[in-house]
Amino acid sequence: MKTYSETLYKDYRQVFDVTDVLYEDKTDHQHLVIFENPRFGRVLALDGVIQVTERDEFIYHEMLAHVPIVAHGKAKNVLIIGGGDGGTLREALRHPSVESAVMVEIDRTVVDLCTEHMPGVSAGAFDDARTELIIADGLKYVAETDRRFDVIMVDSTDPIGPGEVLFTETFYADCKRSLTDGGVLVTQNGVPFFQGDEVRNSHARLKPSFEDVGFYVAPVPTYIGGFMTLGWATDDASLRTLDADALGQRFNASGIETRYYTPAVHAGAFALPGYINRLF
């Protein structure tokens, strides 16, 4: 393998030079490959789709974790569905207010191989005493659990393969049941320039369960097509309209240093381009 071609779109490709293949095999759930690229470092792909690279993962993981936790303001118990690379877990645990982080990942092999070959992504998060790793189907977990969480982060693949069930109205309703009053759900919702249906469908499926549903954006270079969207759902509409000053007071108190996230970026991320707004 001298190059790796992502197969997410039939008529458009991004191709990576490959200097070394660290692992490639079919797990119980999906085809997994980890390779090295001169520009992005180590790269994880599942079923032909780029999931995470060492160079740009911080943008996605910081925005998926810090936006809901800072907006909530007092999140103690968080749930992560998916996210086997450990990046979202890493960022969530940086908040001193977080007392427990439950992570439900369907594919143990993703966790093990990312810990082995891309250890900087999780940065020891799986060894944190606050972490509870559960290898299970996230759909089944939220349907059956009696635990309640202040923030739920769905760090899923696109709605193909194992991730497809994490974009359903039933799943979103079970997430709502698993939240505390005023809790926040955020979801991975693809790149709307190419994947507009993900935004349109998620909005329609979230609305029956939540009072306030929207999206915010982040530019992740290897998620090609411009902005990617992250879904937002809560019953407390005030959390989405907090200004940078209010967010800054909360974030600065945490003592966290970030590479992409700032309170101003957080506030501005909810200002959507017209082509995204017109999808729902």
**Catalytic positions, written as ranges:** 155
Which pLDDT belongs to residue 167? 86
CA gap 215, 201 in Å, rounded: 12
User: Percent of the chain scored above 70 by pLDDT?
Assistant: 98
> What are the boundaries of each domain within the chain?
3-53, 57-277
Average pLDDT, the chain: 95
pLDDT per position as a tens digit, 9-25? 989 999 999 999 999 99
CA dist 86 and 50 (Å) reads 16
Mean pLDDT, rounded, for 228-255: 97
What are 140-196's pLDDT values in tens digits? 999 999 999 999 999 987 766 666 677 899 999 999 999 999 999 999 999 999 999
Mean pLDDT score, 114-130: 98
CA dihedral 98, 270, 60, 112 (to 10 degrees): 50
Query: In whole angstroms, what is the distance from residue 226 CA to residue 23 CA?
Result: 29
Note the pLDDT of residue 161: 61
Alpha carbon of 263 to those of 144, 212, 223, 252, 257: distances in Å?
A: 35, 21, 23, 9, 12
Token output for 197:
């249906």
Q: What is the pTM of this model?
A: 0.96
Residue whose C-alpha is closest to residue 171's, from 201, 215, 195, 194: 201
Q: Which pLDDT score is estimated for 157? A: 73
Q: For domain 3-53, give the CATH superfamily.
A: Spermidine synthase, tetramerisation domain (2.30.140.10)
Query: Which DSSP category does 225 fall into?
Result: S
Average pLDDT over residues 262-276: 98
- The answer to whether 156 touches 168, Cβ cutoff 8 Å, is no
Q: What is the mean pLDDT of residues 244-273?
A: 97
- What pLDDT digit, counting tens, does each position of 75-112 carry? 999 999 999 999 999 999 999 999 999 999 999 999 99
Give per-residue pLDDT as tens, 188-237. Answer: 999 999 999 999 999 999 999 999 999 999 999 999 999 999 999 999 99
What are the structure tokens assigned to 258, written together? Answer: 């970030």
What percentage of the chain exceeds 90 in pLDDT?
94
Find the mean pLDDT for residues 233-258: 96
The angle subtended at Cα 151 by Cα 180 and Cα 101, nearest 5°, is 110
Query: Quick check: do 3-53 and 57-277 share a fold?
Result: no
- pLDDT computed for residue 106 by the predictor: 95
pLDDT at 166: 77
- Average pLDDT in the 64-82 region? 98
Which amino acid is residue 59, in one-letter code?
I
Helix, strand, or coil here: 127?
helix
Give just the sign of the alpha carbon dihedral 162, 166, 168, 173: positive
Contacts of 217 (CB under 8 A, 6+ apart): 227, 228, 229, 230, 269, 272, 273, 276
In eight-state DSSP terms, residue 12 is: B
The residue among 166 and 62 whose pLDDT is bigger is: 62
- pLDDT level of residue 70 (50, 70, 90 thresholds): very high
Predicted pLDDT of residue 146: 97
Q: Please choose, from the candidates 50, 159, 162, 66, the residue with its C-alpha nearest in 3D space to the C-alpha of residue 105.
A: 162
- pLDDT class of 7 with cuts at 50, 70, 90: confident
Tokens of 112: 């093990």
What topology does CATH give the domain 57-277? Answer: Rossmann fold (3.40.50)
Lowest mean pLDDT among 57-61, 70-74, 161-165, 244-248: 161-165
